[in-house]
A and B are shown apart, each in its own frame.
Chain A
Amino acid sequence: MPFIRTGTLTAMVALALALSACKIIKTPTAEEAAEAASGGFNPERQASELWEPKVLPYLDQRAGSFQEVSALAGSDPAAAGAKYGHKEEQGSAPWTFAAKVSGTVVKAETKSRAAYLDTDVDGDGKADVRIQIGPVIKGTAIRDSLNFVNFNEFKNQIQWAEFGKAFNNHLNAVTLDKLPREGLEGRKVEAVGAYPLPAKGQLPLLTPATITIGD
């Protein structure tokens, strides 16, 4: 038995060697050429490959209800961060929190390319959170909420920025582009996404990873 296994292994190694010895040359596409030129960096592919298997489950598991997250973030941002959020260990970036919003659209701004839905979650008729629905997506909240990606693993700020932007592009393509843009006020909305700790007096700006608009 051990002999057979060794034999198989040897055969496999020999096969691998034989395969690596012959070179298959094909003409690279423009995208492949760009990837090769930047040392194998392809943020769009990375983002779309991470999206289903890693990003969506992570946000879903990490998120609390928006009410819980925002209440804790208001009284103790560090505690809220430890439970629902993420930020780079060094530097001065604010916490970015994962949250689930369930509410009613009280105001829809869809004339601007940076469209958004001001959403009431506690039934008082006033907006508690602003959900941005693109196509212009402000900030890089999706990237910044993830605890499994880190600026230090990227060559420089430019690649880190491209990586952040790639999540926004992917989100537009798979989710936001399909959303209706008319008659949104008064409708129910459910979203799971991320938002950075807002400045004083500003509405939290949530970037949804998934969003459903109901009746």
Chain B
Amino acid sequence: MKLTRRLTLAAFAGALALGTAMPAYAADLIAIITPSHDNPFFKAEAVGAEARAKELGYETLILVHDDDANKQSQLIDTAIGRGAKAIILDNAGSEASIAAVQKAKDAGVPSFLIDREINATGIAVSQIVSNNYQGAQLGAEEFVRLMGEKGNYVELLGREADLNAGIRSKGYHDIIDEYPDMKMVAQQSANWSQTEGYSKMETILQANPDIQGVIAGNDTMAMGAIAALQAAGRKDVIVVGFDGSNDVRDSIKAGGIKATVLQPAYAQAQMAVDQADAYIKTGKGPAEEKQLMDCVLINADNADQLETFALKD
């Protein structure tokens, strides 16, 4: 009697599990939501995640939120509506995105965050982010070394709502501020943007021609800065970026930008898809929600090995 009841229960639970695992309206779909692909970093994430998802037999839905939290919220609705089994998300702000990820969770869709954290745990299944502080320290150490531990410099900051802008700036200053002969003459946000990096650099240079270095919170801003410096005939200014894009690699090889810090964007996105796949199949998340991926310094010594946010041996 007991055995029968247990069996019935098990069968019932099994049917339930099947029912939730395979709704009729969706073949297994993974939504991949990132900021705009104009920045090659976000494009590499989307491409990496998509490639891994397809290898594992999923369909993908690629969406961009353009760093707009309202748009992100609508895209989450779209993913839920399309019956996505998981969302891979590079989010639009560490505070503003908490509600969006919670909404997906409430609708039974697990989120796997990449690149940027949210200021909450227990809502996403994973948060796989670059160790921005460790990376920023590597970049700052190289910057200080190239500057001979002294000189006037400019810092270009990322978008303020993005935690990564703050943490990179902190990593830079925790190193640079230890050198009393390093003097920051200007610090402005260029919102991760290449065009803003160019225009801000142009303006700063007019007010402060006596600069020896520029440290930027990402590669696109560094690309903007080096273009403005070169346009002004200032080939002597040391520029350091962050991300490890192919554009900066090429600039390093051509003697433009001096260094950057590689974030393993491609590997990170693939890892998130692997964890999503495991979660979909077994219901189990990783041992730790928040996972840090170490960054690697890129300069003229190893720029040759860099390709699409990954370092070849």
Among the interface residues A113, A140, A155, A164, which one has the most CB atoms of the partner chain B within 10 A? A113
Chain A residues near B167 (CB-CB < 8 A):
156-158, 161
Q: Is B286 an interface residue (CB 8 A)?
A: yes
How far is the CB of B309 from the nearest CB of chain A, in Å? Answer: 14
Binds A, one of B39-47, B125-133, B232-240: B125-133
Q: Is the CB of A136 within 8 A of B179?
A: yes
Q: Is the CB of A160 within 8 A of B133?
A: yes
With contacts A112-B149, A138-B137, A152-B121 taken as known, whether A157 is within 8 angstroms of B291 at the C-beta atoms is no
Chain B residues near A164 (CB-CB < 8 A):
133
Minimal Cβ-Cβ distance residue in A for B133: A161
Q: Is B183 an interface residue (CB 8 A)?
A: no
A residues 112-165 touching B (CB-CB < 8 Å): 112-114, 135-136, 138-140, 150-152, 155-158, 160-162, 164-165
Minimal Cβ-Cβ distance residue in B for A151: B290
Chain B residues near A112 (CB-CB < 8 A):
149
Q: Is the CB of B179 within 8 A of A157?
A: no
A211 CA to B171 CA, complexed, in Å: 26
A residues 146-201 touching B (CB-CB < 8 Å): 150-152, 155-158, 160-162, 164-165
A88 CA to B94 CA, complexed, in Å: 22
Binds B, one of A2-10, A54-62, A65-73, A90-98: A90-98
Interface residues on A, range: 20 to 34
Q: Is A52 an interface residue (CB 8 A)?
A: no
Among the interface residues A88, A94, A138, A156, which one has the most CB atoms of the partner chain B within 10 A? A156
Q: Mark A87-107, 1 if CB is under 8 A from B, else 0.
A: 011111110000000000000
**Quick one: which of A135, A150, A157, A162 contacts B129, CB cutoff 8 A?**
A157
Q: Mark B129-166, 1 if CB is under 8 A from A, else 0.
A: 10111100100010000000100000000000001001
Q: Is the CB of A92 within 8 A of B117?
A: no
Q: Is the CB of B149 within 8 A of A156?
A: no
Q: Mark B257-294, 1 if CB is under 8 A from A, else 0.
A: 00000001000000000000000000000111111111
A155 CA to B132 CA, complexed, in Å: 15
A152 CA to B127 CA, complexed, in Å: 10
Q: Is B103 an interface residue (CB 8 A)?
A: no
Q: Is the CB of A93 within 8 A of B294?
A: yes
Q: Is the CB of A155 within 8 A of B292?
A: no
Q: Is the CB of A92 within 8 A of B294?
A: yes
Chain B residues near A151 (CB-CB < 8 A):
288, 290, 292
Interface set of B (CB-CB < 8 Å, partner A): 94, 117, 119, 121, 128-129, 131-134, 137, 141, 149, 163, 166-167, 170-171, 174-175, 178-179, 264, 286-294
Interface set of A (CB-CB < 8 Å, partner B): 88-94, 112-114, 135-136, 138-140, 150-152, 155-158, 160-162, 164-165
Given contacts A151-B290, A157-B117, could you give 19 more A-B pairs where the C-beta distance is less than 8 Å? A88-B292, A90-B290, A91-B292, A91-B293, A91-B294, A92-B294, A94-B294, A112-B149, A113-B149, A113-B178, A114-B141, A136-B175, A139-B137, A151-B292, A152-B289, A152-B290, A157-B292, A158-B166, A161-B170
